[in-house]
Amino acid sequence: MRLRMSSMVFAGTLLLATMILLHQLINLPTDQQHMSHQERQHMSNSERKEMGVLEMRLKRLEQDLQYNQKAIGEIKSLVRQLTDSANNINDGANTVLEKSDKVFPNKFDRKTVEGGGKDEGNQHGDGVHTVGKVLYNTTSVAKIQQDDCIFSQTSPMPADIQMQNVYDLLPFDNPDGGAWKQGWDITYDAKQWTPDNKLKVFVIPHSHNDPGWIKTYERYFEEQTKFILDRMVEKLSVDNKRKFIWAEVSYLYLWWETISEETKTAVKRLLDRGQLEIVTGGWVMNDEASSHYFAMLEQMVEGHEWLKNNLEAKPNNGWAIDPFGMSSTMAYLLKRMGFENMLIQRVHYSIKKHFAKEKSLEFKWRQIWDTGSTTDMFCHMMPFYSYDVPHTCGPDPKVCCQFDFRRLPGSGVTCPWRVAPQPINNLNVDSRAKMLLDQYRKKAQLYRTNVLLVPLGDDFRYEHADEWDKQFTNYQKLFDHMNSHPDLHVQAQFGTLSDYFRALREESQSSTSDDVGLFPSLSGDFFTYADRDDHYWSGYYTSRPFYKNLDRVLEGYLRGAEILYSLMLATQSSLEAQQPQLTNQLMKQLVEARRNLGLFQHHDGITGTSKDHVVIDYAKKLLVSIQQCQNVMQQSANYLLTFNQRSYHAEGTKVYYSLDETYEEHYTMPSKQVIELHEGQASHITFYNSLAQARSELVTIRTSSPYIQVRNEHETPVRCQVDPVFEDEGTVSSSQFDVSFVITAPAVSLTTFSVQTVAPDAVDTNLISYAAIRVRNKGGVLPSTPAVFTDVAFASEENGDMVLKNSNIEAILNTNGFIKTIKYVKGGKSQKLDIEFVKYGVKNHRETSGAYLFLPDKDAVPIDMSNTLLKVIRGPLLSRAIVIIQNVAHNLLVKNSPGVDGMGLDIVNIVDITKERNYELAMRFYTDVQNKDVFYSDLNGFQVTKRVTYKKLPLQANYYPMPSQMFIEDDHTRISILSKQPLGCASLRSGELEVMLDRRLNQDDNRGVGQGVLDNLRTPNIFRLLVEEKLINKESHTSRDGQAAFPSLLAHGAVHSLLNPIYTLIQKVPSPGRQSWLLGGVLPCDVHLVNLRTMQNEPTPAAKISAASNAALTLHRVGFDCGFAAPGLNCSTNGGKVRLEDLFTAYYSDRVFQMSLSLMYEGVEMTKSYTLSLQPMELYAFKLQRL
Ligand SMILES: [Zn+2]
C-alpha cells in the first residue's frame, strides 16, 4: 500500500513538473518561430548568442521532456499493475516482491550468511568420494516467470534496412568506379538548388589524436597534441567564424594540467560560443569490436564526468571516424546517454556504395532486438574511403587534395595524386571555388537533404600555427566568394557537428514535419570492415591476445573494486565514521584504473594495432591498475569485515589480504600464491562474490601441505580434493598442492573460510580426496610424486582413463587426450565435439596479413596432434586432462560443482607461437549440429547477433569479433563457446565452431603501424563450452524473426562468472574480523549489476581527485532465451522488478535519481522504495546519495 501511495504522489509531482516544462516549451520558441530568415541573418552577435542559449535551453527542455514522458509511461504501467494486483487479477509487482522476499535472505544481516544450506547438506551428506560418484544430485535451477519468456519470442520492430538483407543482396564485386574508385561517376542537375533552396555546407575542422599508436599517449601529447590544443585556443579566438571539434578527453585532461586559468576561461568561452564542440567526449574513441560494454561505458562515463567537472560541457554528438568496423552497441549507449546524433566512417566499401546509391547514408540506427523504436539513434555515415581531406570534400580525391592547404607546395607534405593545392587569391578564387563546389554538389547527391557535412582534418592535424592560418584563411576566402555569388546557390561555412545536425534536422522537419522523418531506419552492425579489395580487417580481432586477456582481467578487478569500495564508503556514511584520507587515497587508485582501462579501449589499444613499445606502455598501465584494484579490494574488504567499523583505524598502505593471483610483470601470466600453512595455526581465505546473485562455484587454492582441513564460514569442514602441482613433465612439487572445494557465496558478499594442517594420519578421508594421476610421457617413467598421491599410473584407455566426468556430463577423450564426445548423464545423449588445432599461413603477395588484416593463403591445415604428452588428473570435484602439443598446452577441465561452472567444460589453452613464422593458430570444433551457414556471435558482451557464412565472400570476411561468445544451433542443440577474452571467430562449414587463438606475422600490412606482429607471449586463452538441449514444447529464439538471438540464462551466468570470478583474498594479518559480510539484497537472475561507481567531486587545488558523496549504480536486464533449462543458478526472474531499497536496505538515502547512462543528465527523482520495472536488454543508471 505504501508503495502504491508513494508512486501516486510521485506520478502527480511528475505530471506537474512536466506541465511546467511544457509551458516553458510553448513559450520559449515562439520568438524564434515568428522570425523571418532575413531577420535572423540581421541579428547582432549578442542576439545570436542569446538565441544560441535559448536554443540550448530548448534542447535541454526537450530532453527533460522526453525523460519525463518515459517515466510517466512507466508510472502509468506500474499504477495499472498495482491496481490489477489489488484486484487479485494477476501477479503484480507487489506479489512478486513478497515472493522473492521469501525465497532469498533479503534482510540486512551482517552476522550470518544463509542460503547455502541446501548444497551444504550434500557436501557432507553421503560421504562418498570415489571418482565419478554423484556428489551433487540437487543442482538448483533458476525459477523463471513465464512472462519473462515473451520478450525473446517477440519479433522486433522491422527496420527499413536490415543489414542481413543487405548482405544477402550485395554481390560484393569491386568494379573500378573511376575518380571515386569504389563508387561511380556522380552527376547532378545544378537546377536543384535555388535562392530558397541553397546547398548548406558545413566544413568541420578536426584533428584525430590517437592516445597511443606509433608513439605512446604521453609522447604524442608532449610532441604534438599539446601544441594542437594551444594553437586551437589562439587561432579560434581570432575569428568567431572559425570552428573546431575535439573528441579525446584523455588528451584534454593532460592538457588541462598544463594550462593557465586564462586559457581555461578561453576554452570555456569557445565552447559557449559554439566555436568548439566536444564530440563523443569519451576518454578515447573506443574500439567497437573487442571492447566489452562495461569498459565502453566506463571510458565514456570517465570522459563525461571529467567534462562536467572541468568544462561544464555535455557532448551531444558521436564522432567515430577511425574504429575498424562499427557496432550497434555504441549507438545504443550513445542513445541512452542522451545523445542525439552520431557519425561513423569505417564501413565496408561495398555497403557504403550501396547506401550512397539508395541515399541511405543517414539513417536511424535501431537495435536488432527493439520491439519499438525507442533505441533509434540518428547516424551519419561518411561515404568515401577515409576521413582525411582528399576523401571528404567529394568523390574525387585528386581534387579534394588540392583543398588541403596543409599540403601547399613547400610544406613537406604532398598530394599523392600529384596535383598540389594553390593558395587562394583574387585571381584564382572563382575557379577554385567552383571546382570545390562541384565536389560538394556531387557529394550532396548521396544524401537526402541539402545540408552537407565536410570534415576537414586528419591525424594530428593543426599542430602548427601556419597550418591553422593556411586552412582557415584559404577556406574563408572560398566561402566568402561562394556566399557572395547568389547564382551559386550555396551557403558555405565552418561548422561543428552540432551546427550540421541542427541544420539537417531543420530541413528534414520543414519537409516532413518530423526532424528525422526523411530518413530510413536500420538494424544490424558494420562488421567485418574492408577498406579495399579483399582486405578485411578481421586480424585485429585476435592480434596481441595476451593483452586482450589482460584487459578483461582488469575489467573484472575494476568492477569488483568499485563495488566493494562504494559499499565501504556507504557503510562509513551510515555509521557517520568517515575515513577521508583512506577514502581519497583509494579513490585515486580507482580513478587511475578507470583511466588506464579507458585508455586501452582506444582503437589502437585493445585492438593490438600499435607499435611494440606502445603495446608495452599500455600493458604496464594495465598491470599497475590490476595491482591497484587488488589493493582497493583488499582494503575495502578489511574494512567491511572489521567488527568495530566505527573506530576503524585505517592504514592505507597495509596489506591485510593478498589476492591469490599475483600479477608481477606485464608480459607474464599470473602466478598462484601458495598459502604457507603452519602447524596448529589456521590460515584464513576470504572469497569475494561481486555478482548480485548467489553462486556456488568450485575454487582452487594452493597450499604448502596436502594434509589439511578446510572449514567454511560456519566452521563446518568441507569436502576437498588435493591435486598435484607439476613443476615440469617429470616432477611433481612436494611443497605445493592445489586444493579445490565448492563454495556457496551470497550476492555481493565476502565469505571467510579457514584452512589448517592436520597430522597425516588424522586426515579425514571422507572429506579429503587425493587425485588419481595418469600420465603418458616421453621417458616412459612415472613421475615421482609425494606419497599422498597413491594412485599414479600410465594412462590406459581400457581402464576408462580417458573419461572426465561430473554429476552432469562425461567428456570422452580420444587416444591423444583430446575431447571427441560429450555425454549427458541424464538422458544419456551424446554430442560429437571433435577438437582440432589448425594453422593459417599468409598469401605470397605484396599484400599480406598483419596487425589489422587477415589474408590467409588458404583454408587452415591441422597441426600435428599425435604422440602427445598427456596428464589426466581426476578426483571427485575436479577432473582435467592436460595435453601438450607443439605451441599449445591444452587443458580440459570438468568441474563437479552445483553452479554454472559444473554445467559445461572449461578449456584453458596456454599458447606460445614465438618460434613460428607467419603463423595463425585457431581452435576448431567439429560437431553434428546442423547450423548450415548460420552462427551467432556477440557484440561487446551486450547482445548476440546472427552471422551468415557466405561463399561469395573470402574466408577472412566470414570471421567476426567474439568479445565474449559464439554459438551454433539447430532444432535440438545449441553449442556455445564462452570466452574470457575477445578473439576472432567463425563457423566456416556447418557443424563447425572456430576461434583464432594467436597470430604471428612477420610483416606490416600497410595500414600505418609499420611493423609486423612479433611480440607474441605465452598467452592464456580461457573458454567455457556449453552444450544445451532445447526444451520440448518451448519455442526458442529461432521462431523469432531477424538478427537478434539471446543466450540462455545459464550462458549468461557462465559468462558473468568467467569475467567476474570469485576473488580469493588470502589473509596476511591475523584479524579478529567477521567471518562474512554481505550486501543483503539480491537481483533477479536476469538483472546484472554492471557497476556501483563512486563519483568524483569537482577538482580543487587541494584535491584533484576526491570521492563524491554519491555513487552511480548501473543495471542491465539481459535478454535470455527460455528454450533452455537454467541449471546451476540459484535465483529467479520476476518481470524485471527491482526495488533499490531491497538491494541497499541500510545504505544510501531514500532519494534516488534515474540518470542518463553516463550521468550527464538527471532524470526523474524517485524514492528507494519505488519498484522499478526494467525492460529486457536495457541498461539503467541511478544516482545514489550516501546517508
Ligand atoms: Zn585513430
Cell of 2: 505504501
Asked if 902 and 962 touch (Cβ cutoff 8 Å), the reply is: no
pLDDT of residue 122: 33
> What's the Cα-to-Cα distance from 796 to each of 128, 750, 775, 990, rounded to whole Å?
25, 43, 9, 34
Q: How far is the CA of 602 from the centre of ligand 1 (A)?
A: 8
Find the mean pLDDT for residues 65-79: 47
Segment (H or E) for 285: none
Ligand 1 midpoint to CA 330 (Å): 17
C-alpha cell at 231: 594553437
pLDDT level of residue 639 (50, 70, 90 thresholds): very high
Name the 3-class secondary structure at 544: coil
pLDDT value at residue 69? 53
Q: pLDDT tens-digit profile of 596-612?
A: 999 999 999 999 999 99
Residue-wise pLDDT for 216-239, tens only, equals 999 999 999 999 999 999 999 999
The candidate with the shortest Cα–Cα distance to 550, out of 1018, 1093, 63, is 1018
Cell numbers 605484396: residue: 846
The pLDDT of residue 1042: 77
Distance 320 CA to ligand 1 centre (A): 9
212 CA from centroid of ligand 1 (Å): 9
Which tens digits make up the pLDDT trace of 440-480? 999 999 999 999 999 999 999 999 999 999 999 999 999 99
Q: How far is the CA of 317 from the centre of ligand 1 (A)?
A: 18
Helix, strand, or coil (residue 199): strand
- The answer to whether the beta carbons of residues 633 and 560 sit under 8 Å apart is yes
Look over the chain and give the mean of its residue pLDDT values, rounded to a whole number. 89
Residue 37 clears pLDDT 90, i.e. is over it: no
Q: What is the pLDDT of residue 50?
A: 56
Predicted local confidence at residue 834, as pLDDT: 97
Distances from the Cα of 638 to the Cα of 564, 686, 837, angstroms: 10, 10, 45
Identify the three-state secondary structure at position 40.
helix
pLDDT level of residue 83 (50, 70, 90 thresholds): very low
| 441 CA from centroid of ligand 1 (Å) | 28
- Give the pLDDT confidence of 495-530 residue by residue, as tens digits: 999 999 999 999 999 999 999 999 999 999 999 999
Q: Write down the pLDDT at residue 62.
A: 54
pLDDT of 1007:
96
Mean pLDDT of 865-894: 96
pTM for this entry: 0.89
Q: Check the CA dihedral 285-288-291-297 and report its sign.
A: positive
Distance CA 543, CA 1001 (A): 10
Cβ neighbour number for residue 1034 with a 10 Å cutoff? 13
Neighbours of 252 (CB within 10 A): 24
In this predicted structure, what is the pLDDT of residue 826?
A: 83
Instruction: Provide the pLDDT for residue 5.
Output: 39
The pLDDT tens digits of the residues spanning 682-704 come to 999 999 999 999 999 999 999 99
Cα separations (Å) of 471 from 392, 400, 1127?
A: 15, 13, 64
d(CA 1155, CA 1172): 13
Distance between Cα 208 and ligand 1 center (Å): 6
pLDDT digits (tens, 9 = 90+) for 840-870: 999 987 889 999 999 999 999 999 999 899 9
Model pLDDT, residue 1032: 72
Whole-angstrom CA distances from 794 to 311, 686, 726, 772, 873 are 69, 38, 16, 11, 12
pLDDT value, residue 780: 84
Flag whether pLDDT at 18 surpasses 50. no
Residue 982: all three cell numbers together: 575477445
Q: Residue 1091 corresponds to which cell in the numbers above?
A: 557497476
pLDDT for res 66? 53
| Lowest pLDDT segment from 6-20, 291-305, 624-638 | 6-20
- Note the pLDDT tens digit of each residue in 1055-1111: 999 999 999 999 999 877 899 999 999 999 999 999 999 999 999 988 999 999 999
Secondary structure class of 1154 (helix, strand, coil): strand
Cα–Cα distance between 263 and 277 in angstroms, integer?
16
- The alpha carbon of 341 and the centre of ligand 1 are apart by a number of angstroms equal to 20
What are the C-alpha distances in Å from 2 to residues 9, 37, 659, 1184? 11, 55, 45, 21
Question: Does the pLDDT at position 839 exceed 60?
Answer: yes
Report the separation in Å between the CA atom of 215 and the middle of ligand 1, taken as the mean of its atom positions: 12
CA 322 / ligand 1 centre spacing (Å): 5
CA of residue 314 to ligand 1 center, whole Å: 23
CA distance 156 to 373: 9
818 has a pLDDT exceeding 60: yes
Within 13 Å, how many C-alpha atoms sit on residue 595's CB side? 19
| Per-residue model confidence (pLDDT) at position 501 | 98
- Taking only the tens place, the pLDDT of each residue in 170-204 is 999 999 999 999 999 999 999 999 999 999 999 99
Residue 846 confidence (pLDDT): 81
Conformation bin of residue 835: beta by default, left when phi > 0, alpha when psi is -120 to 50: beta
Alpha-carbon distance of 1132 to 1130, in angstroms, equals 7
CA of 324 to the centre of ligand 1 (A): 9
Contact 659, 1064 (CB under 8 A): yes
The single residue listed with the C-alpha cell 598421491 is 789
Q: Does residue 931 contact residue 1045 with C-beta atoms inside 8 Å? A: no
- Specify the length of the chain in residues: 1187
Asked whether the predicted pLDDT for residue 291 surpasses 70, the reply is: yes
Q: What percent of the chain stands above pLDDT 70?
A: 88
Q: Which residues are within 8 A (CB) of 884 and not within 5 positions of it... i.e. 6 or more apart? A: 729, 868, 869, 870, 890
Asked if the model's pLDDT at residue 326 lies above 60, the reply is yes
* pLDDT score at 68: 52
48 band by pLDDT with thresholds 50, 70 and 90? low
Catalytic hit among 322, 604, 938, 1015: 322
CA–centroid distance, residue 738 to ligand 1 (Å): 45
pLDDT above 70 (res 121): no
Per-residue model confidence (pLDDT) at position 105: 27
pLDDT, one tens digit per residue, over 718-752 is: 999 999 999 987 789 999 999 999 999 999 999 99
Q: How many angstroms is it from 213 CA to the middle of ligand 1?
A: 8
The backbone torsions φ and ψ at residue 1064, rounded to the nearest 5 degrees and listed phi first, read -110, 115
Residues 320, 343: Cα–Cα separation, whole Å:
6
Let me know if 322 is a catalytic residue: yes
Distance 398 CA to ligand 1 centre (A): 23
- Strand ranges (E), 125-186: 161-162
Is the bond into 528 cis (omega within 30 degrees of 0)?
yes
Query: At 289, is the secondary structure helix, strand, or coil?
Result: coil
Distance between Cα 913 and ligand 1 center (Å): 28
Strand ranges in 628-747 using DSSP code E only, listed in sequence order: 657-659, 661-662, 671-672, 674-675, 683-689, 695-703, 708-711, 720-726, 732-745
Q: Is the pLDDT of residue 362 over 60?
A: yes
Q: Is the pLDDT of residue 294 over 70?
A: yes
CA gap 1145, 1169 in Å, rounded: 10
pLDDT for 73 beyond 80: no
Is residue 380 within 8 Å of 326, Cβ to Cβ?
no
Residue 566 corresponds to which cell in the numbers above?
A: 562504494
* pLDDT score of 175: 97
Cα(209) to centroid(ligand 1), Å: 7
pLDDT above 90 covers what percent of the chain? 83
Distance CA 1036, CA 506 (A): 44
pLDDT in tens, 555-600: 999 999 999 999 999 999 999 999 999 999 999 999 999 999 999 9
Q: 492 CA distance to ligand 1 centroid (A)?
A: 28
Q: Is residue 932 predicted with pLDDT exceeding 70?
A: yes
What pLDDT is stored for residue 199 in this prediction? 98
Distance, CA of 457 to CA of 105 (rounded, Å):
59
